[in-house]
Amino acid sequence: MAAQRRATRPEKSSLVDRLMLSSSSSGGDGSDGSTTSVEENLRRALDAALGSLGAMGEVYEQREARVLEELQRSREDRERVELLLKQVLGDKTPFTAISPRIPAS
């Protein structure tokens, strides 16, 4: 699933690349002082910040998906162990009363 997401993700330049591009295109010394160049610099900085936030959001979503998958596997493993124990020991002990249930999502 992660490989599929990576394959469909558009190619983005890194924050360092964008900042290097903006500093080289602005002349480097910032001495022109024009309002348009200040606005352009602010716009580039905002774009870089938004790009970083977007990347962080993607990382969060991927981690969240992995955690949910792990919880599901854990839940399934617990249910299999409970079934095996019931088969081996009989239905003498209600395992559901002993172990807390993880809520299904």
pLDDT digit string, tens, across residues 65-75: 999 999 999 99
* Backbone dihedral angles phi then psi of residue 39, each to the nearest 5 degrees: -65, -40
Q: Categorize the per-residue pLDDT at 92 as very low, low, confident or very high, splitting at 50, 70 and 90.
A: low
Q: Categorize the per-residue pLDDT at 79 as very low, low, confident or very high, splitting at 50, 70 and 90.
A: very high
* CA separation for the pair 58, 4 (Å, rounded): 13
> Which of 65, 58, 67, 61 lies closest to 9 in space, CA to CA?
58
**How much is the average pLDDT of 41-61?**
95
Residues in the chain, total: 105
Identify the sign of the CA torsion 86, 92, 94, 99: negative
